Amino acid sequence: MLNFDIQSHRPLREIVYEELRNLILTGKIKPGTRMMEIELAEDMGVSRTPVREAIRKLEKEGLVVIEPRKGAYASEISVKDMVDILEVRANLEGLAAYLAAQRMTDAEKEQLNEVKEKFKQAVIEGNMAEMIANDTKFHRLIVDSSRNNHLIHMVEQLQELVLRFRYIYFKDFKRAEDMIPEHKRIYEEIANGNGANARFEAFNHIDKLMEMIKNDEAFFKDEGHKKDEELKKD
């Protein structure tokens, strides 16, 4: 059930929309999952009307697909979508690391190191939620430290798209383990003020993920379709 402030003046349809959008972006509603108005309304403790309005809005954003006589489904994530986004992200975050090496304050470096260690601990404990949270924060700190507002804005536009498949590639635990020394190298180059090396390490970090996706395309397609196949069996 939705947890919202009854004193809030925001329309219920907006609250429902944001909740469903967050569930899709974070992978709690997996790609291919059928989104049934009655079930969603019951789960959230609301009527079907705000759910229906939210689904239509999500369709316009490309997060939901509505098929005639079949219903609404969380849109699939294609391997090409992931690769296209990562190609852009690798170059933007490489530039961000280069600029951060010149502009990051000592306090920000200390914070980046703390987040790096929290990510490492999350991997050791197998805590996926904390892995994702600290990986996201690690990269965000670097981008913010670039002090380039246009760059920050462009990366922000990609971040929500990245969230949709972060939960998929973090299921490859070996990849999560490999990210520990990669984060360490990025941090060290930024802390040492070596912009060229920081750029290389940041680009290489994301490029490795992109190559993993290309080389294991079947895994990512299977993850995206798994939930839909379960529904069909029911």
pLDDT of 222 reads: 56
Which DSSP letter does residue 29 get? S
- Average model confidence (pLDDT) for the chain? 87
- CATH architecture of structural domain 79-217: Up-down Bundle (1.20)
Is-same-fold flag (12-75; 79-217)?
no
Global pTM?
A: 0.77
Give the model confidence (pLDDT) of 110-169 as tens digits: 999 999 999 999 999 999 889 989 999 999 999 999 999 999 999 988 877 777 777 777
Q: In the chain, where do the E strands start and end?
A: 34-35, 64-67, 71-74
Question: Per the structure block, which two tokens stand in for 54?
Answer: 């939210």
Instruction: Give the pLDDT band (50/70/90) at residue 7.
Output: very low
Mean pLDDT of 61-69: 90
Mean pLDDT of 33-46: 94
- Given a contact cutoff of 8 angstroms between Cβ atoms, the answer to whether 227 and 33 are in contact is yes
Domain spans of the chain, in order of start: 12-75, 79-217
The CA distance from 135 to 119, in Å, is 6
CATH topology of domain 12-75: Arc Repressor Mutant, subunit A (1.10.10)
Closest CA to 14 of 66, 58, 54: 54
